[in-house]
């Protein structure tokens, strides 16, 4: 029983991080109908940059954020404006996956060349301790990860709902032609949408570096996990992705403590295939999904 | 034009058959066999990708399953290697049909996601099922030709892969001329319209999916017999799947010889990179950049460029008169 509670707690904490990581993917899909396979590669790029800042200057990994977040925002805008926007509109879905796949390979190769293929990790003094609540031990690094993810997601939602830019972005997601008609520069807004998406990858990468060791090829595992999350949630639905992230995080956590790590990761694919068989458009919204 | 289009393939075929005797050392025979293996796989991939437009990044799953199936049958059940090869390929094809039923329910980007997930899944299964597959330490497969030395083995497998390539090309050519092929093309151009016109899209897609898995599985089985040791991380790597896609796109997915041409460029380039730069990861970057460039600037491939045919509708317009003249002598 205690074990189950432990798995549940860890699952919720990890699910929060998954929600943050998947939210970027939902944004890209929303604004451009693009499945950004390179998102996890950028995540690990951010993790490595954080690692470099941490080891070179000996500062807290979160102090890398003021540098990485603007850089990644600019990178995202550049990727959208210079690469994705140039693809021919027919067959955009397939070609964009191949394009971002190529970007992912490029990043993985560069990371492998500069940092070698061996494991890296950042261990902070506060990350090794844990908080015990009613027999369930919650590692501080997971709590911090969850808090940062929740905070970032909160800011993201606030921007999307309250700000003028957020309204323009949502209009672009809902109906690009209509948005253009009322005077929204949809091309530029889509570019900023990509920028915001990659900025979440910068935050996610820092958090990831804190809680888990990483090596250049580990982004493939994350592609599978995050894709499973956005398919289960319904492609293009930020809220759906967040719900599916917590659900799958909990399932993973429970299987991890009761069976083993292989099956825990396998659960993502099981859910992916079950969703495709039962409800290809996803379980939480995602009316956009079926055709893409 | 007629003579050129008939003569050049024949000349190339003759060159390919003579290749192992033309090169000065066994390393080049090995590199040749590897290139032909990739060409066979890319051509097989193109049975799905070229006709239906469904891009699968996960065909290395079938490569790995074919390799492990053959290897396990030879080592655990002691069956002759030919039988093992065929049985494992048939099993993988049946498996692909099962997966295909789920996978082709979704289109476009979701399909690519599923194909990537398939590779990761198979990788997990093979690494996790330690008692059967040897886990991450890999699987050792005895050579089917113990009498031959290493170089002669390369030579034998060069011809085996060449036969596989010929078979894959033949099937592609046959499908491209059949009603089945026309149906698959209709799916690529507009799936909903094709369905409303009575093309059994679901069954066609699953058939194309399993057919393209068949030859990739055969290539995997041959690879297992050839190399003799299987590393799950390599055979189930997403990189092999992306090579198939890159080769096909580079050469031209709508042409019979497109994937072959792409393989002739990409595979030797990859080998050269390995020699020139050693075991660094920079070859990934090179592959990635080439893929980005191809997708951005040449999504129809080299052959489409050369033949100067714009990528218009592939089912070309034909009046009833023209059609009639073709059939009546």
| Residues in B 183-242 with any Cβ partner in A closer than 8 A | 238-239, 242
d(CA B138, CA B117): 21
Would residue A130 count as lying in a domain?
Answer: yes
> Where residue B149 sits, what CATH number does that domain have?
1.10.3470
pLDDT category of residue A267 using cuts at 50, 70 and 90 = confident
Would residue A60 count as lying in a domain?
Answer: yes
d(CA A216, CA A211): 16
Would residue A13 count as lying in a domain?
Answer: no
Q: Beta strand pairing status for B139-140 and A136-139?
A: unpaired
- For a pLDDT cut of 70, what percent of chain B falls above it? 91
pLDDT of A291:
36
Spell out which residues of chain B touch residue A241, defining contact as CB-CB under 8 Å.
none
d(CA A178, CA B190): 25
Does this complex have an ipTM over 0.85? no
Domain count, chain A: 1
Query: Do B220 and B63 contact (CB within 8 A), yes or no?
Result: yes
The DSSP-derived string for A38-104 is: THHHHHHHHHHHHHHHHHHH---GGGGHHHHHHHHHHHHHHIIIIIGGGS-STTHHHHHHHHHHHHH
Q: What is the mean pLDDT of residues A23-40?
A: 82
Q: Quick check: B279 pLDDT over 60?
A: yes
Q: Quick check: A132 pLDDT over 80?
A: no
> Whole-number mean pLDDT of chain B?
82
Helix (H, G, I), strand (E, B) or coil at B259: helix
Would residue A260 count as lying in a domain?
Answer: no
Would residue A79 count as lying in a domain?
Answer: yes
**Of the partner residues B113, B127, B281, the one whose CB lies closest to the CB of residue A35:** B113
Query: Do A2 and A135 contact (CB within 8 A), yes or no?
Result: yes
- Comparing alpha-carbon positions, the chain A residue that sits nearest to B118 is A269
Q: What is the mean pLDDT of residues B184-205?
A: 85
- pTM confidence score: 0.84
Tokens of B170: 């033949």
Site from B100, B247, B279, B288 to mutate, A interface, most A CB atoms within 10 angstroms: B288
Supply the range of the domain harboring residue B206: 2-327
pLDDT of A228:
86
Helix (H, G, I), strand (E, B) or coil at B146: coil
Spell out which residues of chain A touch residue B280, defining contact as CB-CB under 8 Å.
112-113
Would residue A158 count as lying in a domain?
Answer: yes
pLDDT of B94:
92
- Comparing alpha-carbon positions, the chain B residue that sits nearest to A261 is B128
pLDDT of B218:
92
Domain count, chain B: 1
Do the chains contact at B55 and A221, CB–CB below 8 Å?
no
Query: Do A13 and A130 contact (CB within 8 A), yes or no?
Result: no
pLDDT tens-place string over residues A227-253: 888 888 877 777 788 888 888 888 888
**Of the partner residues A98, A109, A276, the one whose CB lies closest to the CB of residue B295:** A98
| Residues in B 244-283 with any Cβ partner in A closer than 8 A | 245, 249, 280-283
Supply the range of the domain harboring residue A100: 27-232
Q: What is the mean pLDDT of residues B175-195?
A: 85
Q: Quick check: B278 pLDDT over 80?
A: no
For chain A, say whether B298 makes contact (Cβ under 8 Å): no
Do the chains contact at B108 and A93, CB–CB below 8 Å?
yes
Instruction: Pinpoint the alpha helices (H) of B252-319.
Output: 258-277, 282-297, 301-306
């Amino acid at each position: 029983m205690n074990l189950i509670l432990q798995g549940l707690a860890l699952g919720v904490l990890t699910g929060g991080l998954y929600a943050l990581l998947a939210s970027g993917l939902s944004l890209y899909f929303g604004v451009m109908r693009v499945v950004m396979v390179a998102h996890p590669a950028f995540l690990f790029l951010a993790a490595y940059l954080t690692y470099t800042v941490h080891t070179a200057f000996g500062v807290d990994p979160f102090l890398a954020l003021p540098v990485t977040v603007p850089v990644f925002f600019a990178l995202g805008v550049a990727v959208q404006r210079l690469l994705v926007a140039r693809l021919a509109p027919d067959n955009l879905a397939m070609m964009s996956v191949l394009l971002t796949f190529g970007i992912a390979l490029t990043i993985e190769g560069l990371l492998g060349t500069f940092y070698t293929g061996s494991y890296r990790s950042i261990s902070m003094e506060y990350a090794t301790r844990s908080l015990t609540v009613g027999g369930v031990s919650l590692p501080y690094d997971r709590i911090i990860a969850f808090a940062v993810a929740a905070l970032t997601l909160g800011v993201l939602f606030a921007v999307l709902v309250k700000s003028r830019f957020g309204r323009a972005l949502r209009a672009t997601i809902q109906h690009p032609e209509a948005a253009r008609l009322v005077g929204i520069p949809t091309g530029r807004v889509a570019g900023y949408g990509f920028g915001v998406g990659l900025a979440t990858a910068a935050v996610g990468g820092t958090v990831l570096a804190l809680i888990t060791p990483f090596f250049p090829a580990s982004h493939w595992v994350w592609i599978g996990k995050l894709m499973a999350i956005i398919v289960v949630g319904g492609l293009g639905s930020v809220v759906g992705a967040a719900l599916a992230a917590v659900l799958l995080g909990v399932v993973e956590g429970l299987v991890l403590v009761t069976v083993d790590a292989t099956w825990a990761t396998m659960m993502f694919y099981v859910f992916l295939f079950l969703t495709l068989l039962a409800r290809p458009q996803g379980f939480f919204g995602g009316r956009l999904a079926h055709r893409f | 034009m007629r003579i050129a289009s008939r003569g050049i393939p024949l000349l190339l075929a003759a060159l390919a058959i003579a290749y192992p005797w033309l090169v000065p050392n066994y390393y080049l025979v090995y590199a040749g066999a590897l290139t032909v293996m990739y060409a066979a796989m890319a051509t097989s991939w193109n049975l799905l990708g070229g006709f239906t437009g469904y891009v699968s990044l996960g065909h290395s799953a079938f490569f790995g399953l074919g390799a492990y199936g053959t290897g396990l049958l030879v080592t655990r059940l002691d069956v002759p290697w030919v039988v093992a090869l065929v049985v494992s390929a048939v099993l993988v094809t049946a498996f692909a049909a099962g997966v295909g039923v789920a996978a082709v329910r979704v289109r476009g980007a979701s399909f690519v996601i599923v194909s990537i997930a398939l590779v990761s899944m198979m990788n997990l299964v093979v690494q996790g099922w330690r008692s059967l597959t040897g886990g991450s330490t890999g699987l050792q497969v005895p050579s089917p030709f113990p009498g031959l030395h290493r170089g002669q083995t390369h030579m034998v497998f060069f011809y085996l892969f060449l036969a596989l390539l010929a078979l894959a090309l033949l099937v592609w050519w046959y499908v491209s001329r059949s009603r089945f092929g026309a149906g698959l093309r209709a799916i690529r151009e507009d799936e909903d319209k094709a369905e409303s016109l009575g093309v059994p899209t679901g069954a066609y897609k699953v058939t194309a999916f399993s057919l393209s898995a068949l030859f990739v599985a055969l290539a995997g089985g041959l690879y297992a017999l050839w190399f003799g040791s299987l590393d799950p991380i390599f055979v189930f790597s997403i990189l092999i799947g992306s090579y198939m896609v890159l080769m096909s796109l580079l050469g031209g997915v709508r042409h019979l010889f497109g994937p072959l041409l792409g393989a002739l460029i990409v595979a030797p380039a990859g080998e050269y990179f390995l020699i020139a730069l050693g075991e660094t990861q920079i070859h990934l970057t090179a592959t990635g950049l080439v893929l980005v460039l191809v997708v951005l600037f040449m999504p129809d491939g080299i052959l489409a460029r050369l033949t100067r045919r714009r990528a218009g509708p592939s089912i070309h317009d034909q009046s009833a008169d023209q059609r009639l003249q073709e059939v009546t002598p």
